[in-house]
Structure 1
Protein backbone atom coordinates (compact mmCIF):
# COMPACT_ATOMS: atom_id res chain seq x y z
CA UNK A 1 0.00 0.00 0.00
CA UNK A 2 1.11 3.44 -0.74
CA UNK A 3 1.17 6.30 1.61
CA UNK A 4 -1.85 7.79 0.06
CA UNK A 5 -3.78 4.63 0.46
CA UNK A 6 -2.73 4.11 4.02
CA UNK A 7 -5.41 5.21 6.41
CA UNK A 8 -4.55 6.11 9.91
CA UNK A 9 -6.64 4.88 12.80
CA UNK A 10 -7.85 8.41 13.43
CA UNK A 11 -9.03 8.71 9.88
CA UNK A 12 -10.80 5.39 10.17
CA UNK A 13 -12.64 6.55 13.28
CA UNK A 14 -13.59 9.77 11.53
CA UNK A 15 -14.90 7.87 8.53
CA UNK A 16 -16.97 5.59 10.76
CA UNK A 17 -18.37 8.59 12.69
CA UNK A 18 -19.27 10.37 9.43
CA UNK A 19 -20.96 7.30 8.02
CA UNK A 20 -22.84 6.79 11.33
CA UNK A 21 -23.93 10.43 11.31
CA UNK A 22 -25.13 10.11 7.71
CA UNK A 23 -27.09 6.95 8.51
CA UNK A 24 -28.47 8.54 11.68
CA UNK A 25 -29.66 11.60 9.80
CA UNK A 26 -31.36 9.40 7.22
CA UNK A 27 -32.99 7.07 9.79
CA UNK A 28 -34.13 9.78 12.23
CA UNK A 29 -36.48 11.48 9.77
CA UNK A 30 -37.94 8.11 8.77
CA UNK A 31 -38.56 7.22 12.42
CA UNK A 32 -39.89 10.72 13.11
CA UNK A 33 -42.32 10.31 10.20
CA UNK A 34 -43.47 6.98 11.57
CA UNK A 35 -43.91 8.48 15.04
CA UNK A 36 -45.85 11.42 13.61
CA UNK A 37 -48.02 9.07 11.55
CA UNK A 38 -48.69 6.87 14.58
CA UNK A 39 -49.51 9.99 16.63
CA UNK A 40 -52.07 11.04 14.00
CA UNK A 41 -53.58 7.56 13.98
CA UNK A 42 -53.73 7.59 17.77
CA UNK A 43 -55.44 11.01 17.82
CA UNK A 44 -57.93 9.81 15.19
CA UNK A 45 -58.62 6.63 17.17
CA UNK A 46 -59.12 8.64 20.37
CA UNK A 47 -61.53 10.97 18.54
CA UNK A 48 -63.49 7.98 17.22
CA UNK A 49 -63.65 6.52 20.73
CA UNK A 50 -65.03 9.81 22.09
CA UNK A 51 -67.62 9.95 19.30
CA UNK A 52 -68.63 6.35 19.95
CA UNK A 53 -68.87 6.98 23.70
CA UNK A 54 -71.03 10.02 22.97
CA UNK A 55 -73.22 7.91 20.67
CA UNK A 56 -73.59 5.26 23.37
CA UNK A 57 -74.58 7.88 25.96
CA UNK A 58 -77.12 9.39 23.54
CA UNK A 59 -78.53 5.96 22.72
CA UNK A 60 -78.89 5.15 26.42
CA UNK A 61 -80.65 8.48 27.03
CA UNK A 62 -82.97 7.87 24.07
CA UNK A 63 -83.79 4.38 25.34
CA UNK A 64 -84.57 5.80 28.77
CA UNK A 65 -86.86 8.41 27.18
CA UNK A 66 -88.62 5.73 25.13
CA UNK A 67 -89.03 3.57 28.23
CA UNK A 68 -90.42 6.53 30.21
CA UNK A 69 -92.84 7.47 27.38
CA UNK A 70 -94.01 3.87 27.07
CA UNK A 71 -94.63 3.68 30.81
CA UNK A 72 -96.67 6.91 30.70
CA UNK A 73 -98.64 5.64 27.70
CA UNK A 74 -99.42 2.39 29.50
CA UNK A 75 -100.51 4.30 32.62
CA UNK A 76 -102.78 6.53 30.52
CA UNK A 77 -104.19 3.52 28.68
CA UNK A 78 -105.03 1.85 31.99
CA UNK A 79 -106.37 5.05 33.48
CA UNK A 80 -108.57 6.09 30.56
CA UNK A 81 -109.44 2.74 28.99
CA UNK A 82 -112.93 3.05 30.43
CA UNK A 83 -113.65 6.43 28.75
CA UNK A 84 -116.06 5.18 26.10
CA UNK A 85 -117.62 2.62 28.41
CA UNK A 86 -118.19 5.26 31.10
CA UNK A 87 -119.63 7.68 28.54
CA UNK A 88 -122.04 4.92 27.51
CA UNK A 89 -123.17 4.50 31.11
CA UNK A 90 -123.94 8.18 31.67
CA UNK A 91 -127.34 8.11 29.92
CA UNK A 92 -128.28 5.05 31.99
CA UNK A 93 -127.42 6.90 35.20
CA UNK A 94 -129.35 9.95 33.99
CA UNK A 95 -132.39 7.77 33.21
CA UNK A 96 -132.33 6.10 36.62
CA UNK A 97 -132.03 9.49 38.36
CA UNK A 98 -134.86 10.87 36.23
CA UNK A 99 -137.07 7.86 37.05
CA UNK A 100 -136.48 8.38 40.78
CA UNK A 101 -137.12 12.11 40.65
CA UNK A 102 -140.38 11.72 38.66
CA UNK A 103 -141.72 8.70 40.56
CA UNK A 104 -144.77 9.10 42.76
CA UNK A 105 -143.24 8.27 46.13
CA UNK A 106 -146.62 8.50 47.85
CA UNK A 107 -148.04 5.54 45.92
CA UNK A 108 -147.53 2.41 48.05
CA UNK A 109 -147.75 0.16 45.00
CA UNK A 110 -144.75 1.90 43.40
CA UNK A 111 -142.67 2.10 46.59
CA UNK A 112 -140.91 -1.32 46.11
CA UNK A 113 -140.10 -0.47 42.50
CA UNK A 114 -138.74 2.98 43.44
CA UNK A 115 -136.65 1.39 46.18
CA UNK A 116 -135.30 -1.12 43.64
CA UNK A 117 -134.40 1.64 41.17
CA UNK A 118 -132.69 3.61 43.98
CA UNK A 119 -130.69 0.54 45.04
CA UNK A 120 -129.75 -0.16 41.41
CA UNK A 121 -128.57 3.44 40.99
CA UNK A 122 -126.55 3.31 44.25
CA UNK A 123 -124.96 0.02 43.20
CA UNK A 124 -124.11 1.37 39.75
CA UNK A 125 -122.64 4.58 41.18
CA UNK A 126 -120.54 2.76 43.79
CA UNK A 127 -119.22 0.40 41.13
CA UNK A 128 -118.20 3.14 38.70
CA UNK A 129 -116.64 5.18 41.53
CA UNK A 130 -114.30 2.24 42.18
CA UNK A 131 -112.97 2.68 38.65
CA UNK A 132 -112.34 6.42 39.01
CA UNK A 133 -115.61 7.95 37.78
CA UNK A 134 -116.55 10.97 39.90
CA UNK A 135 -119.82 12.91 39.88
CA UNK A 136 -119.78 16.68 39.41
CA UNK A 137 -122.84 18.03 41.25
CA UNK A 138 -122.09 21.74 41.76
CA UNK A 139 -125.32 22.90 43.43
CA UNK A 140 -124.73 26.14 45.40
CA UNK A 141 -121.06 26.28 44.35
CA UNK A 142 -119.18 28.92 42.38
CA UNK A 143 -119.37 28.52 38.61
CA UNK A 144 -116.27 26.78 37.18
CA UNK A 145 -116.11 27.05 33.38
CA UNK A 146 -113.73 24.09 33.20
CA UNK A 147 -116.26 21.73 34.81
CA UNK A 148 -119.62 23.43 34.28
CA UNK A 149 -121.56 24.44 31.20
CA UNK A 150 -123.84 27.44 31.79
CA UNK A 151 -127.17 26.83 30.07
CA UNK A 152 -128.72 30.10 31.23
CA UNK A 153 -128.31 32.94 33.71
CA UNK A 154 -130.90 34.24 36.16
CA UNK A 155 -130.93 37.11 38.57
CA UNK A 156 -131.82 35.84 42.05
CA UNK A 157 -132.08 38.01 45.15
CA UNK A 158 -129.73 37.09 47.97
CA UNK A 159 -127.40 35.00 45.81
CA UNK A 160 -124.06 36.36 44.62
CA UNK A 161 -123.23 36.49 40.94
CA UNK A 162 -121.65 33.43 39.27
CA UNK A 163 -123.14 30.90 41.68
CA UNK A 164 -124.72 27.68 40.42
CA UNK A 165 -128.39 27.86 41.37
CA UNK A 166 -129.79 24.86 39.46
CA UNK A 167 -128.09 21.70 38.20
CA UNK A 168 -129.91 20.58 35.06
CA UNK A 169 -127.64 17.59 34.46
CA UNK A 170 -124.75 16.31 36.56
CA UNK A 171 -121.28 16.18 35.10
CA UNK A 172 -118.72 13.39 35.35
CA UNK A 173 -114.94 13.03 35.51
CA UNK A 174 -112.91 9.88 34.92
CA UNK A 175 -109.63 9.89 36.87
CA UNK A 176 -109.53 13.69 36.84
CA UNK A 177 -110.39 14.06 33.15
CA UNK A 178 -113.71 15.67 32.29
CA UNK A 179 -116.11 13.31 30.51
CA UNK A 180 -119.14 15.58 30.56
CA UNK A 181 -119.54 19.05 32.10
CA UNK A 182 -122.40 19.69 34.49
CA UNK A 183 -125.18 21.67 32.79
CA UNK A 184 -126.16 24.46 35.16
CA UNK A 185 -128.09 27.68 35.60
CA UNK A 186 -125.89 30.44 36.95
CA UNK A 187 -126.87 33.49 38.96
CA UNK A 188 -126.09 36.90 37.57
CA UNK A 189 -125.70 40.27 39.24
CA UNK A 190 -128.95 42.13 39.94
CA UNK A 191 -129.72 44.84 37.43
Structure 2
Protein backbone atom coordinates (compact mmCIF):
# COMPACT_ATOMS: atom_id res chain seq x y z
CA UNK A 1 0.00 0.00 0.00
CA UNK A 2 1.30 3.41 -0.94
CA UNK A 3 1.15 6.54 1.19
CA UNK A 4 -0.59 9.33 -0.70
CA UNK A 5 -0.44 11.88 2.12
CA UNK A 6 2.40 14.31 1.38
CA UNK A 7 2.64 15.34 5.09
CA UNK A 8 3.27 11.87 6.44
CA UNK A 9 6.61 10.35 5.37
CA UNK A 10 6.52 6.98 3.75
CA UNK A 11 8.03 4.56 6.26
CA UNK A 12 9.23 2.18 3.63
CA UNK A 13 11.01 4.84 1.60
CA UNK A 14 12.27 7.10 4.44
CA UNK A 15 12.76 4.37 7.10
CA UNK A 16 16.47 4.93 7.63
CA UNK A 17 16.35 8.72 7.36
CA UNK A 18 13.42 8.99 9.79
CA UNK A 19 15.14 6.81 12.38
CA UNK A 20 18.31 8.87 12.08
CA UNK A 21 16.43 12.16 12.49
CA UNK A 22 14.51 10.90 15.50
CA UNK A 23 17.72 9.61 17.06
CA UNK A 24 19.42 12.96 16.46
CA UNK A 25 16.49 14.82 17.98
CA UNK A 26 16.45 12.40 20.92
CA UNK A 27 20.19 12.86 21.45
CA UNK A 28 19.81 16.65 21.32
CA UNK A 29 16.94 16.58 23.80
CA UNK A 30 18.85 14.20 26.07
CA UNK A 31 21.87 16.53 26.00
CA UNK A 32 19.66 19.55 26.70
CA UNK A 33 17.95 17.66 29.56
CA UNK A 34 21.34 16.79 31.03
CA UNK A 35 22.45 20.42 30.79
CA UNK A 36 19.23 21.64 32.45
CA UNK A 37 19.51 19.02 35.20
CA UNK A 38 23.09 20.13 35.82
CA UNK A 39 21.97 23.77 35.92
CA UNK A 40 19.14 22.86 38.30
CA UNK A 41 21.57 20.99 40.58
CA UNK A 42 23.83 24.07 40.61
CA UNK A 43 20.88 26.33 41.43
CA UNK A 44 19.81 24.00 44.24
CA UNK A 45 23.33 24.01 45.64
CA UNK A 46 23.44 27.82 45.46
CA UNK A 47 20.08 28.11 47.24
CA UNK A 48 21.21 25.69 49.96
CA UNK A 49 24.46 27.65 50.47
CA UNK A 50 22.57 30.94 50.64
CA UNK A 51 20.08 29.47 53.13
CA UNK A 52 22.96 28.24 55.27
CA UNK A 53 24.63 31.66 55.08
CA UNK A 54 21.39 33.40 56.07
CA UNK A 55 20.96 31.00 58.99
CA UNK A 56 24.55 31.63 60.08
CA UNK A 57 23.98 35.39 59.89
CA UNK A 58 20.79 35.04 61.92
CA UNK A 59 22.66 33.05 64.58
CA UNK A 60 25.50 35.62 64.63
CA UNK A 61 23.01 38.47 64.99
CA UNK A 62 21.20 36.63 67.77
CA UNK A 63 24.49 36.01 69.58
CA UNK A 64 25.57 39.65 69.12
CA UNK A 65 22.21 40.90 70.35
CA UNK A 66 22.44 38.67 73.41
CA UNK A 67 25.96 39.95 74.11
CA UNK A 68 24.78 43.55 73.67
CA UNK A 69 21.97 42.98 76.17
CA UNK A 70 24.27 41.32 78.69
CA UNK A 71 26.87 44.08 78.53
CA UNK A 72 24.71 47.11 77.71
CA UNK A 73 25.42 48.69 81.10
CA UNK A 74 29.15 48.00 81.00
CA UNK A 75 30.16 51.59 80.18
CA UNK A 76 27.77 53.09 82.71
CA UNK A 77 28.86 50.73 85.46
CA UNK A 78 32.52 51.34 84.62
CA UNK A 79 31.88 55.08 84.93
CA UNK A 80 30.16 54.52 88.30
CA UNK A 81 33.08 52.64 89.85
CA UNK A 82 34.93 55.83 90.94
CA UNK A 83 31.70 57.01 92.62
CA UNK A 84 31.45 53.67 94.40
CA UNK A 85 35.11 53.91 95.45
CA UNK A 86 34.52 57.43 96.81
CA UNK A 87 31.60 56.27 98.94
CA UNK A 88 33.55 53.28 100.27
CA UNK A 89 36.54 55.50 101.06
CA UNK A 90 34.31 57.96 102.91
CA UNK A 91 32.70 55.21 104.95
CA UNK A 92 36.06 53.67 105.93
CA UNK A 93 37.40 57.02 107.19
CA UNK A 94 36.23 56.84 110.80
CA UNK A 95 38.26 59.84 111.96
CA UNK A 96 36.60 62.34 109.60
CA UNK A 97 34.52 65.08 111.15
CA UNK A 98 31.11 66.17 109.81
CA UNK A 99 32.60 68.94 107.66
CA UNK A 100 35.05 66.58 105.96
CA UNK A 101 32.34 63.97 105.43
CA UNK A 102 30.08 66.60 103.88
CA UNK A 103 32.84 67.75 101.52
CA UNK A 104 33.48 64.14 100.54
CA UNK A 105 29.78 63.55 99.89
CA UNK A 106 29.56 66.71 97.78
CA UNK A 107 32.53 65.59 95.66
CA UNK A 108 31.00 62.14 95.27
CA UNK A 109 27.66 63.69 94.26
CA UNK A 110 29.45 65.83 91.63
CA UNK A 111 31.11 62.68 90.27
CA UNK A 112 27.74 60.96 90.13
CA UNK A 113 26.10 63.93 88.37
CA UNK A 114 28.91 63.99 85.80
CA UNK A 115 28.49 60.27 85.08
CA UNK A 116 24.71 60.51 84.78
CA UNK A 117 24.87 63.56 82.51
CA UNK A 118 27.40 61.87 80.23
CA UNK A 119 24.98 58.94 79.95
CA UNK A 120 21.98 61.09 78.95
CA UNK A 121 20.33 61.64 82.35
CA UNK A 122 19.22 65.18 83.18
CA UNK A 123 17.75 66.45 86.42
CA UNK A 124 14.29 68.03 86.53
CA UNK A 125 14.44 70.74 89.22
CA UNK A 126 11.51 73.06 88.45
CA UNK A 127 11.67 75.43 91.43
CA UNK A 128 9.96 78.79 90.59
CA UNK A 129 8.98 77.54 87.13
CA UNK A 130 5.48 77.00 85.74
CA UNK A 131 3.96 73.61 86.57
CA UNK A 132 4.36 71.13 83.68
CA UNK A 133 2.23 67.99 84.09
CA UNK A 134 4.44 66.15 81.60
CA UNK A 135 7.49 66.45 83.89
CA UNK A 136 6.05 67.30 87.32
CA UNK A 137 3.70 65.60 89.72
CA UNK A 138 1.92 67.96 92.12
CA UNK A 139 1.64 66.45 95.58
CA UNK A 140 0.34 69.60 97.28
CA UNK A 141 -0.95 73.05 96.53
CA UNK A 142 -0.28 76.15 98.56
CA UNK A 143 -1.44 79.74 98.61
CA UNK A 144 1.10 82.42 97.82
CA UNK A 145 1.03 86.14 97.17
CA UNK A 146 4.64 86.11 95.96
CA UNK A 147 4.19 83.73 93.00
CA UNK A 148 1.53 83.50 90.28
CA UNK A 149 -0.85 80.51 90.29
CA UNK A 150 0.56 77.35 88.73
CA UNK A 151 4.13 78.10 89.83
CA UNK A 152 6.24 75.43 91.52
CA UNK A 153 7.25 76.76 94.95
CA UNK A 154 8.79 73.62 96.46
CA UNK A 155 10.48 70.53 95.06
CA UNK A 156 10.08 67.54 97.36
CA UNK A 157 11.91 65.15 95.03
CA UNK A 158 13.74 66.00 91.82
CA UNK A 159 12.71 64.30 88.61
CA UNK A 160 14.86 62.79 85.88
CA UNK A 161 14.74 62.67 82.09
CA UNK A 162 16.75 60.05 80.20
CA UNK A 163 17.49 61.03 76.59
CA UNK A 164 14.29 63.11 76.26
CA UNK A 165 12.12 60.45 77.96
CA UNK A 166 10.73 61.07 81.43
CA UNK A 167 12.24 58.57 83.84
CA UNK A 168 10.71 59.99 87.03
CA UNK A 169 8.55 63.11 87.48
CA UNK A 170 9.55 65.75 89.98
CA UNK A 171 7.34 65.79 93.08
CA UNK A 172 6.34 69.41 93.65
CA UNK A 173 4.16 71.85 95.55
CA UNK A 174 2.30 74.31 93.32
CA UNK A 175 0.64 77.66 93.97
CA UNK A 176 -3.11 77.16 93.65
CA UNK A 177 -5.52 79.46 91.88
CA UNK A 178 -7.23 81.93 94.17
TM-score (norm 2): 0.54
Out of 69, 73, 85, the position equivalent to 2:65 is 69
SS at match of 2:103: helix
TM-score (norm 1): 0.52
| 2:29 is equivalent to residue 45 of structure 1 | no
* Larger Rg computed on CA atoms: 1
Counterpart residue number, 2:147: 159
Question: 5+ residue gaps in structure 2?
Answer: 1-12, 82-86, 88-95
Per-residue deviation, 1:27? 1.7
How large is the Cα RMSD of the aligned pairs? 4.2
| Residues matched between the structures, number | 147
Out of 111, 115, 120, the position equivalent to 1:127 is 111
Counterpart residue number, 1:27: 23
Query: For residues 155 and 131 of structure 1, what CA distance do their matches in structure 2 show?
Result: 38
Give the direction of change, closer, same or farther, for the CA distance of 1:135–1:22 in structure 2 (3 Å limit). closer
Per-residue deviation, 1:119? 0.9
Cα deviation 1:94-125 (Å, max 9, x = unaligned): xxxxxxxxxxxxxxxxxx95533431331221
Residues 137 and 172 in structure 2, CA contact (< 8 A), matched pair in contact too = yes
Query: For residues 162 and 50 of structure 1, what CA distance do their matches in structure 2 show?
Result: 70
Query: For residues 57 and 149 of structure 2, what CA distance do their matches in structure 1 show?
Result: 53
